[in-house]
């Protein structure tokens, strides 16, 4: 986890608190990028109001870090983010979106576009941590050029009351994608996940892994799709774990194939905590809650 004070881009409510690039890395508020670099405009659907622009032009040894925080009551963020990784550059990004307190009734809407040019690779770790009363709606799109690779790890262990997460990935020729989503519902939260991986280039490939935990009367609905237009390979691995009676998980894996040479597979299951594992851990001296927490943490790491 990053220290927000050292983030390349730190925005609290609507104010940019911290912004700095590295050698070969330009970091700007999105609006400035829109004004300064005309080439970025097609990537923004409209003139951005707030959010960040990160342009990685040269290899950097340091991971990039961005942090978008809601710290005041009833703030409504409407972010447009753009990250561009140039040809053959390897980059790592740690991204945090969070609320500083529990009951701020904040709204966080984010539209993000990430462009990986030919041969580029990106490891993108995205952490969400929200207060119970917030509303969160991120919509991210990744465009992967030829021979590029993406590892996208998204983790949300403290979701808000309502979250709607949309992720779209377009994989070009020989591009590879490894996407891991970890969600833990809690305290009546309502979580809607929709992700789609488009295999658009020859030999593009991707693995999409979802790990969902339903507890404390949370409702999780996840639709995960792989669509193959080219001769690529894709695999969906969706697993849900229901911890208590009032929670609900809906899993909808979807494979759509337009190319007879494509190979798409999926596995999906929803289970409950194993009574045997629970008894075993309790016989190691753990309380029921400690045992459940340990089993859940293990499930999320699989």
| Site residues for other proteins per CB under 8 A | 274-277, 279-288, 290, 294-295, 297-302
Determine contact, residues 214/241, Cβ cutoff 8 Å: yes
Which residue, among 151, 166, 156, has the nearest Cα to 127 in the 3D structure? 156
Which residue, among 156, 170, 85, has the nearest Cα to 126 in the 3D structure? 156
Q: Return the CA Rg of the chain.
A: 20
Q: Name the residue nearer to other proteins (CB basis): 150 or 291.
A: 291
Q: How far is the first Cα of the chain from the last one, in angstroms, to the nearest whole number?
A: 20
Q: Name the residue nearer to other proteins (CB basis): 61 or 275.
A: 275
Q: Give the shortest CB-285-to-other proteins separation in angstroms.
A: 4
Q: Name the residue nearer to other proteins (CB basis): 205 or 239.
A: 239
Nearest 5°: the CA angle 91, 182, 194 is: 90
Q: Give the shortest CB-281-to-other proteins separation in angstroms.
A: 7
Q: How far apart are CA 35 and CA 251, in angstroms?
A: 42
Q: Name the residue nearer to other proteins (CB basis): 24 or 271.
A: 271
Q: Give the shortest CB-279-to-other proteins separation in angstroms.
A: 5
Q: Give the shortest CB-291-to-other proteins separation in angstroms.
A: 8
Q: Which residue has the tokens 């999105």?
A: 30
Angle between helices 288-301 and 275-282 (to 10 degrees): 120
Q: Give the shortest CB-49-to-other proteins separation in angstroms.
A: 41
Q: Name the residue nearer to other proteins (CB basis): 192 or 277.
A: 277
Ramachandran quadrant class, 291 (left: phi over 0; alpha: psi -120 to 50; beta: rest)? alpha
Q: Give the shortest CB-266-to-other proteins separation in angstroms.
A: 20
Q: How far apart are CA 176 and CA 197, in angstroms?
A: 11
Q: Name the residue nearer to other proteins (CB basis): 5 or 289.
A: 289
């Amino acid at each position: 986890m990053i220290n927000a004070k050292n983030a390349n881009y730190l925005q609290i409510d609507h104010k940019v608190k911290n912004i700095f690039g590295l050698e070969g890395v330009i970091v700007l508020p999105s609006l400035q990028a829109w004004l300064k670099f005309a080439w970025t405009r097609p990537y923004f659907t409209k003139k951005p109001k707030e959010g960040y622009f990160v342009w990685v032009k040269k290899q950097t040894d340091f991971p990039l870090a961005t942090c978008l925080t809601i710290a005041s009551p009833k703030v409504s963020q409407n972010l447009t983010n753009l990250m561009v990784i140039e040809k053959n550059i390897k980059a790592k990004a740690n991204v945090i979106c969070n609320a500083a307190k529990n009951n701020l009734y904040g709204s966080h809407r984010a539209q993000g576009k990430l462009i990986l040019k030919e041969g580029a690779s990106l490891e993108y770790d995205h952490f969400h941590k929200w207060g119970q009363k917030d509303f969160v709606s991120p919509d991210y799109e990744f465009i992967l050029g030829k021979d590029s690779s993406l590892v996208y790890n998204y983790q949300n262990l403290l979701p808000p009351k309502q979250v709607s997460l949309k992720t779209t990935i377009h994989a070009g020729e020989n591009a590879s994608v490894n996407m891991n989503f970890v969600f833990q519902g809690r305290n009546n939260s309502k979580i809607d996940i929709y992700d789609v991986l488009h295999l658009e280039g020859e030999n593009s490939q991707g693995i999409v892994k979802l790990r969902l935990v339903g507890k404390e009367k949370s409702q999780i609905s996840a639709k995960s799709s792989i669509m193959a237009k080219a001769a690529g390979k894709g695999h969906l691995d969706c697993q849900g774990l229901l911890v208590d009676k009032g929670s609900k998980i809906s899993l909808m894996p979807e494979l759509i194939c337009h190319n007879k040479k494509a190979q798409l597979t999926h596995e999906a299951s929803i289970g409950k905590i194993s009574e045997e594992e629970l008894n075993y851990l309790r016989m190691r001296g753990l309380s029921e809650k400690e045992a459940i927490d340990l089993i859940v943490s293990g499930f999320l790491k699989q």
